[in-house]
Structure 1
Amino acid sequence: MARFPSQSVRRAGRLCAIATLAAGLLLTGGAPLDAKPKPRPAPSKAEEEVKAQIDKASGLAEAGSADAAVEILQKVIAASPQSEHIPEAYLLIGKVLSGQKNYEEAGAYYRRLLEEYPASDLRPQARLGLISALLTTGQLNAALPLLLEAKGQTTDPAVKRILLQQLEEVYLANQDYVRMVETAVEARALVPEQERRPIEQRIVETVKSRLGEKDLRHFADKYPRTFPSDIALLRLIELYGSAGEDFKLARAARDFLTQFPLHEQAAAVDAILTTQRKKLKSMAYRIGALLPLSGALSPYGTDVLNGIQIAFAEVTEAIPQLAVGLVVKDTKSDTQVLTSELDDLLNEYQPTAVIGPLLSREVKTVAAAADAYEVVFITPTATLPEVQLLGQYLFNTAVNSRALVRDLATYATGPLGWKRFCILAPRDQYGAEMTQAFAEEINRLGGEIIAVDTYKPDDNDFGPPIKRIKEADLKRYGKLEVPPTPPHKMEAPPTPPQKKGAKETKIYVPGFDAIFLPGEAQKVSLIAGQIRFYAAKVGLLGTNGMDTPELFSIDARAVEEAIFADSFFVDSPDPAVRNFVEQYRKHFQQPPTAFAAQAYEATKLVLDGILKGATTGRALRESLKNVKNAPGLIGPLTMNPAGYLERRYVLIQVKNGRLVPLMDMR
């Protein structure tokens, strides 16, 4: 039985064929690629002799005497290394050696031309000759930068097409399918319509068989309303359908119909959407998710949706007959879109509850509709504490700022024994709220606030407010002291007396125990470094904004031993957290955030209420109001009468450049 060559052998053959075609097209004749002839002065007799020898070698090569031609050219190069015709000799000997299939040596001469004569008009031809030699000998990665350089410099469409085909094959051999498809798309635009079919077939085959979700979304976004966005979207619809990811399927289907309303597959995609809508409406109960899944806030919306999906997967696995559907609406980080999607969600699907929205101002937007339609809305992220003042169907499972700083202050004044504190906060609503909450808690616990200062959110120099804090402290408890004499200098001879009028060196000894820094991690890291410079070493306290690797982005040593509180810690040893993190990583190949954890808990509370018979908005509202000591990720959850969730907060400390759980406030 005949054996067919392997894919790698066939690919190598194609590369050789393309390289040979390129060499034949680009190295025939002496005219440089895209070059214009320059007038030259009359040559000397020595230069005329060199030129005559090169012409003789060229004639011998054309007559089939390649060895003789190579011998002449090598002698010319050795005898007249300073001749202006040496680049021509390099190029010709490279061509002759390539014809003899001596690609390694040919490549060496092309490379010498490129390196020794960077301004030569023959550079483009030498570069293409070197590319051909490298591709033929399988040195694909070495050829890649030269191909990219040549593609960027040539203006000849025929040459560019060959270069693009070479690039496509190199990317394919390297399994870089994204760049392979992008290169093929670029080549497709250079050929007449009747010649596009083979290129399109290669693109379609690669998109369908080689690309995952992320890369398919990349092509759907990069080539809107044109090929191959349609192929990428159709493949996404297929993948999402197989995986049962209804929201993603619906989004891809809507994108497809918006971009390609006259496509031959439009009717089939529309039928998929209709079927999905009927399926959701046939569910006994529905939960909505009103989140920004595109636009500036999409990373946070995606985290929340992921947490919701983990809760659904967990309950569905335990109760397969669960007849609760998830209707996801993308607000696109836009208030007008939120209003439109809210109307469609409430009127078309009549959900029992909705997880979302994310922002405090959005919660205020949906409050009236929640009461009017008697639909429970739970925000897992908004910082509004007493949401029941806005509407009796509103609840909040987000971090409660006052509770968070209460637990932090309790630990600081209790086990740590700290009594005096300063505050440096951003000059915004969040900073003002956290400053007030922390100060009130410290005063309640018998502590003392020495100084409070602020900075603009876009500031990077925190020297002025730190100096003001230092000055305020010096008026209360801070001191300026002469530094102690180091032990190894105790036996040294006495130092001569200081000159009259000389200032004695003193160091600042802070009179406060710690400074509270409610801000985002990067700012805290900057501030910590400057505090160490201005105010020596004091304790650092912060909020959940510090719970990110960005805390170490500026100066990891400056934040060492800093302490902050959060509602969730991904590296907690708690079994419930470990299980949640494991399931999350399994589904999404990344660790969960606090937003994902808070959305997970919100969804579990809703599903638990429905499973216990709270199947209307009114009944579910009462069920949530009565939540007491329900199981949460790091401890029991209780719904406060004001509509926010009372929970335990875990204290996290920086130890040896890592975040570690200090304790939770049990």
Structure 2
Amino acid sequence: MKQIYLSVFLWSSLFVFSFSGQVFAQDVLPRGSALPSVSLNPVDILSKKNNPKIDVSAELFNASSFAEKNLFSQAKAYFDQGNGEIAGSSLETFLLDYSASSLLPDVYILLSEIYRSKGETNRASELLKTFVDLFPEEPRISAVQLRLSIFYFDSGRLKEIVALWDDVSDDAPNKHRVFGHLIRTYGARKKNLEALHVLMKKRAMHSKFVTPIVVEEEIIQLVRERLNTRDLLSLVKSFGGMFPADEAMMRLMVLYDAKGDYYHEEQMVLQFILEFPRHRSLAQTRQRLAQIKHKIKTSRYLLALILPLSGPLVSFGNKALFGAELAVQLFKEELPGASVGLVVRNAEEDPSRLRMTLESWLDEYHPIAVVGPLLSKEVNRVAAVLEKKDMALITPGATSRRLFSLGNTVFRNAVTNRFLCNAIAEYAVLELEVERIAVLFPDEQLGRRWVDCFSEGIEKLGGEVVLTEGYPLDDTDFSKTILRLKKADLAQDGFVEEIEAEDGTVEELYTPGFEAIFLPADAVRAGLIIPQLLFHEFNTVGILGTNSWKSEEFLKLTGSYADGVVFADGFFKESTDPVIETFVTRYRARFNEEPDIFAAQTYDATRLILAAMRRGALTSAKVKTAIAETVDFPGASGFIYEVLEGEFIKEPFFIQVDQGKFSQ
């Protein structure tokens, strides 16, 4: 490939000349123009804010037509003069007029350089990407890929860089230069998992530039020193049964052990044994099983957790587990030396095995009380065993109205629909001081239950549900339902009055005959209904809902229309209450994720048992009695006033939408 340097002399409207054995045609171009190239020291290409040198192809230039040469050279000359706008316009015209030209590779390169000079790097990179896609066998492809990689580095599009070089020979020096810089860039940005995946690609290369054992050492060091728990779990999932999943598993064992999370440590040991039966560390890993059991039993007092730690509810189970672990950690910080720990069981085990083995599991570890399970059917499955042992169980999730042994062995610290229904009814009558309320509800079993519960709560407080209107579940346009509600209201206490505007026109103003409307709908339906309510002149009534509205989707659907709506919930992580702030702050710091209501309710259930122990209840029977006598307990999932027939009677959280955000 020869580099072309053009020298053009102004002579006439068309001048033909030769240089270095090549013949060029130009249309009145200024003296001294040259085809574009960018010089750069190749030793440190990726450390400079510049581009690699890409020379114009003499072969392609000579193969093109007179008109193509003329237009291209004109554009190049304008660019040299600093007139990128005209140069770019000329080349865009070239692409339209000469879509099959042999000069297209050079046009894409020069046009990309023009856009780069104007700061339009996205368009510049698009042009180079087009070059790569259209001309994979072009001699300058490596230089173009290198320049495109620099664009991607500068714009943070790092994921696209690997794909750009996937089909390039492993022996290409530029490929290793780019991969090395990519690994360092990911590391600097603390995207260590991404850096590891690039290292794994490098390890798989068959190249004189790669020593696999050295790359493996880099990977092991990265796994052991820089990956967090979430990254490590991702590695285990991605590379199960292969390197570096083994290193990730062993690192997770260490991290779980340091946090006292013996359940997940044991599960990781069992998975390691299954997936790496011939591993060099197998014998050492097997020893951990006995060590884990010994560490659990060294605690004088154990709290048992029965949670869904596999299957579809695993994310909720893990958050609940984290809530319990945090409660124990804070308890030990308050009482250094306290010999208290957790023993954990997966509620998702085969139900036929659970009843048979639960009793022996309890006999082996002798826990003082149980927290969990989350589901009502699982609570009913284990409660009979616990009742025989006179042991308390606090469920942080079961919502069934009928739980086996509720108020005797079983206690509930969970938000039920009845709790939310009564809470929002109290808010309407006692806080908003409204007396007349309408309900717009989904016409199905759960929707009708909400109507019955809410109506009962309102009437107990002296209010009245004056209208109810149902809608089919498959509705997306609720105008007809809202108009039916409006018509029914006008037949009762609603009215329309005529108001004369300044211009003499008469407008009708609708005033509803009720002061608030309750919408027991999910986030999507409520998000569609609320704007339509305001459109149909229900803008003077308060709008009340359920905790299903607490989602970003609801806020997006309603926009500013939702300002002022209120619903009840059992947890609000943005609360300024000191107990909640402590829980949320410490949870985030320890687990690097956001807590949810199950984490908060399990945290409180665990704290309540620990508080009973602190007051001297050190047997299962005494802990059960102490739980039943609990009063005025400040919880992260709400202030607990008392325990009545197994139910924790708590202060609800009333959440309002204010300027597109949830607030308390």
User: Does the alignment pair 1:645 with 2:648?
Assistant: yes
Structure 2 match to 1:511: 513
179, 187, 190: which one pairs with 1:167?
179
User: Does the alignment pair 1:267 with 2:269?
Assistant: no
What amino acid does structure 2 have at the position aligned with 1:287? L
User: Does the alignment pair 1:184 with 2:196?
Assistant: no
Closer, same or farther: CA 351–509 of 1 in aligned 2, 3 Å = same
String of CA shifts for 1:240-279, please: whole Å, max 9, x gaps: 3334433332333233223223322122222223112112
Structure 1 match to 2:92: none
String of CA shifts for 1:173-221, please: whole Å, max 9, x gaps: 33243223223334544549x9643332332222222222221111111
User: Does the alignment pair 1:279 with 2:265?
Assistant: no
Structure 2 match to 1:289: 305
CA distance in 1, matches of 2:331, 2:601: 16
Which structure 2 residues correspond to residues 188-267 of structure 1 after superposition, within 5 A?
A: 188-189=203-204, 191=206, 196-267=212-283
CA distance in 2, matches of 1:324, 1:139: 51
- Structure 2 length normalisation: TM-score? 0.73
- Structure 1 length normalisation: TM-score? 0.73
Does the 8 Å contact 2:579/2:634 carry over to 1?
A: no
User: Does the alignment pair 1:533 with 2:535?
Assistant: yes
Does the 8 Å contact 2:489/2:513 carry over to 1?
A: yes
Q: What SS does the aligned partner of 1:489 have?
A: coil
Displacement, 1:643? 0.8
CA distance in 2, matches of 1:592, 1:119: 46
Q: What SS does the aligned partner of 1:301 have?
A: helix
CA distance in 2, matches of 1:371, 1:406: 30
CA distance in 2, matches of 1:573, 1:647: 18
CA distance in 2, matches of 1:394, 1:444: 28
What amino acid does structure 1 have at the position aligned with 2:639? G
RMSD, matched Cα: 4.3
String of CA shifts for 1:484-506, please: whole Å, max 9, x gaps: 223x324x8xx9xxxxxxxxx85
Closer, same or farther: CA 270–419 of 1 in aligned 2, 3 Å = same
User: Does the alignment pair 1:82 with 2:96?
Assistant: no
User: Does the alignment pair 1:594 with 2:594?
Assistant: no
Closer, same or farther: CA 295–474 of 1 in aligned 2, 3 Å = farther
User: Does the alignment pair 1:543 with 2:546?
Assistant: yes
String of CA shifts for 1:158-187, please: whole Å, max 9, x gaps: 479974774354133332432232233345
String of CA shifts for 1:611-657, please: whole Å, max 9, x gaps: 334333333222222223344455343110x2111122233322233
Does the 8 Å contact 1:217/1:232 carry over to 2?
A: yes
Q: What SS does the aligned partner of 1:289 have?
A: strand
Structure 1: gaps spanning 5 or more residues: 1-26, 29-48, 55-66, 95-106, 496-504, 662-666
What amino acid does structure 1 have at the position aligned with 2:140? A
Deviates more, 1:446-455 or 1:599-608: 446-455
Structure 1 match to 2:659: 656
Does the 8 Å contact 1:387/1:643 carry over to 2?
A: no
Structure 2 match to 1:565: 568
Deviates more, 1:327-336 or 1:513-522: 327-336
The number of residue pairs the alignment matches comes to 570
What amino acid does structure 1 have at the position aligned with 2:68? Q
Displacement, 1:130? 1.8
What amino acid does structure 1 have at the position aligned with 2:563? E
Displacement, 1:117? 6.5
Deviates more, 1:282-291 or 1:621-630: 621-630
CA distance in 2, matches of 1:221, 1:197: 23
Displacement, 1:71? 11
User: Does the alignment pair 1:580 with 2:583?
Assistant: yes
Does the 8 Å contact 2:132/2:145 carry over to 1?
A: no
Closer, same or farther: CA 648–386 of 1 in aligned 2, 3 Å = farther
User: Does the alignment pair 1:620 with 2:618?
Assistant: no
Structure 2 match to 1:16: none
Closer, same or farther: CA 137–399 of 1 in aligned 2, 3 Å = closer
419, 444, 449: which one pairs with 2:465?
449
Structure 1 match to 2:141: 127
Closer, same or farther: CA 190–266 of 1 in aligned 2, 3 Å = same
Closer, same or farther: CA 74–547 of 1 in aligned 2, 3 Å = closer
CA distance in 1, matches of 2:347, 2:573: 28
Structure 1 match to 2:492: 476
Q: Taking every aligned residue pair, what percent have the same amino acid on both sides?
A: 29
Q: What SS does the aligned partner of 2:631 have?
A: coil
Q: What SS does the aligned partner of 1:554 have?
A: helix
Structure 2 match to 1:377: 393
Closer, same or farther: CA 459–166 of 1 in aligned 2, 3 Å = farther
CA distance in 1, matches of 2:498, 2:179: 67
CA distance in 1, matches of 2:372, 2:353: 14
CA distance in 2, matches of 1:311, 1:116: 57
